[in-house]
Amino acid sequence: MTSAARFSTLRMVTAGLALGASLAAGTAVAVPAAAEPAPAGLDRAALRSSLDAVRDAGMYGIYSSVRDGRATWQGASGVADVRTRRPVHPTMAHRIGSVSKTFTAAAVLQQVAKGRVDLDAPIGRYLPGLVPGERGETVTVRMLLNHTSGIGDYIGGAFPSLTIPNGDSLDDNRFRTFRPEELVSFGLAAPAPGAPGQLWSYSNTNYILAGLLLEKVTGTGAESYITRHVIRPAGLRNTSFPRTPFIPGPHSKGYEALYGLIDPPKDYSVYNMSWAWTAGAMVSTMDDLNTFYRALLGGRILDRERLAEMQRTVPVSDPQGNVYMHYGLGIYAQDLPCGRFWGHDGGVFGYGTYSMSSADGRKQVSLGFNLMKYQELDENGVVPHAIDFALGGHLLQATCGSQPTTRAQRPLPFLPTAHLSIPVGK
């Protein structure tokens, strides 16, 4: 694939937050000049219907947790196991992938508050042997956290068959333990997408380095630190770094299609997640994710100054120059018809996650689903699937309610980072 086609593949361009009906008619959702507030309250019937629409479009199973002030709604649709037809339910544990990055960034920012880390200091000051030479002197901690470091992603090195492409590496690595330093070496050996600070380019390597930085300055394991200082203060009861390849508690299987290269899709719910570590290894529930972002945005995890740093963003644009999100430090903003929402998405083999909250934490949605990369590829990248439009419809219903929308100036992408590091191509 050409680089332009690969960007299209990895970005999931037109599948966006858009009402399925209006997209089918050639109309997407616009971001108005002045966002209209969402109507008060939850339309439970509409939420139920929009969730079922995702299942009807072909998703195996999906679960969602929605909040509007004190009003809450949880729903699930579809199956957790395609063989036994065991149903999904809203409280299932779920691999949240890159949503983990918000937890890691929050932990690093706590060290900034303590004076142990300077956001604008070079990473070589803290990890001199790991990021040697000019890179270590020019890549700052901030660049790692907002993906402007210019360091490549390690995924192609850890899963080399994805560049062929086929899914053999997924099976080869199911029980393999990767050391964080090994992942960093893959990333440093990968082609650099740009000079440090030059442009935004999503790379999981950045957040492996952030985990190693956290260990260096705290003297404790990154998983342990994040558990004690981020997960527990947020009041989360079902969120963890699993210690084994097995997901703790009731959960769905996770099916990976790899854009039709794995047919039928295969279950990868049992997996050694050392390959993702502080970039994406965590397990949570949708309700816990809403609780976490409410605590974070409400100032219970970081002080006001550090939260402001976290929400200091860089624009992220497509090849045509359209800004489709604003990335901060482990968190990003998307502008929806009813206002700006903060959060992150995640995608690992078999599991997709999306969690967004209004700035005051009053309006929230977190959803998880159990079939990944169900789309097909063509010469331009990912071909949008009916599932994408249905997912966007549910997300808009959850965030903005049943308010009118206007004709799109551009589509809003769904899961804007989940596909950015899967190097499927020729």
Judge whether residue 272 has pLDDT over 50: yes
- Distance of alpha carbon 315 from alpha carbon 326, whole angstroms: 5
Find the largest Cα–Cα distance for the chain: 58
Interval 399-405 mean pLDDT = 72
Judge whether residue 421 has pLDDT over 90: no
Interval 180-203 mean pLDDT = 97
- State percent of the chain over pLDDT 70: 85
DSSP, res 229: I
CB neighbours of 414 closer than 8 A, spacing ≥ 6?
A: 12, 15, 16, 17, 354, 388, 391, 392, 395
Q: What is the pLDDT of residue 132?
A: 87
- Give the model confidence (pLDDT) of 297-343 as tens digits: 999 999 999 999 999 999 998 878 889 899 999 999 999 999 999 99
Q: Do strands 255-256 and 61-68 pair parallel, antiparallel, or not at all (unpaired)? A: unpaired
Judge whether residue 18 has pLDDT over 50: no
CB neighbours of 158 closer than 8 A, spacing ≥ 6?
A: 169, 173, 178, 183, 186, 275
Judge whether residue 15 has pLDDT over 70: no
- Give the model confidence (pLDDT) of 33-63 as tens digits: 445 565 568 999 999 999 999 999 999 999 9
Give the CA distances from residue 255 to residues 282, 350, 369, in Å, rounded to whole numbers and listed in that order.
18, 4, 9
Interval 94-103 mean pLDDT = 98
H helices of 176-330, where? 180-189, 205-218, 222-226, 277-280, 286-297, 304-310
Confidence band for 83, pLDDT divided at 50, 70 and 90: very high
Judge whether residue 245 has pLDDT over 60: yes
Judge whether residue 416 has pLDDT over 70: no
Q: What is the pLDDT of residue 411?
A: 41
Query: What is the pTM (predicted TM-score) of this model?
Result: 0.91
98 labelled catalytic: yes
CB neighbours of 155 closer than 8 A, spacing ≥ 6?
A: 162, 204, 421, 422, 423
Which tokens go with 133? 């030479």
Judge whether residue 180 has pLDDT over 70: yes
Q: Do strands 371-372 and 255-256 pair parallel, antiparallel, or not at all (unpaired)? A: parallel
Judge whether residue 155 has pLDDT over 90: yes
Judge whether residue 425 has pLDDT over 60: no
Contact between 361 and 290 under an 8 Å Cβ cutoff? The reply is no
The second-level CATH assignment, the architecture, of 3-400 is 3-Layer(aba) Sandwich (3.40)
Q: What is the pLDDT of residue 35?
A: 56
Interval 403-417 mean pLDDT = 47
Confidence band for 419, pLDDT divided at 50, 70 and 90: low
Q: Which amino acid is at 52?
A: D
How remote is the C-alpha of 259 from its chain's centroid? 19
Judge whether residue 423 has pLDDT over 70: no
DSSP, res 67: E
Q: What is the pLDDT of residue 22?
A: 32
Judge whether residue 93 has pLDDT over 50: yes
Which is catalytic among the residues 65, 98, 100, 149?
Answer: 98
Judge whether residue 390 has pLDDT over 90: yes
Q: Which amino acid is at 118?
A: D
Judge whether residue 13 has pLDDT over 50: no
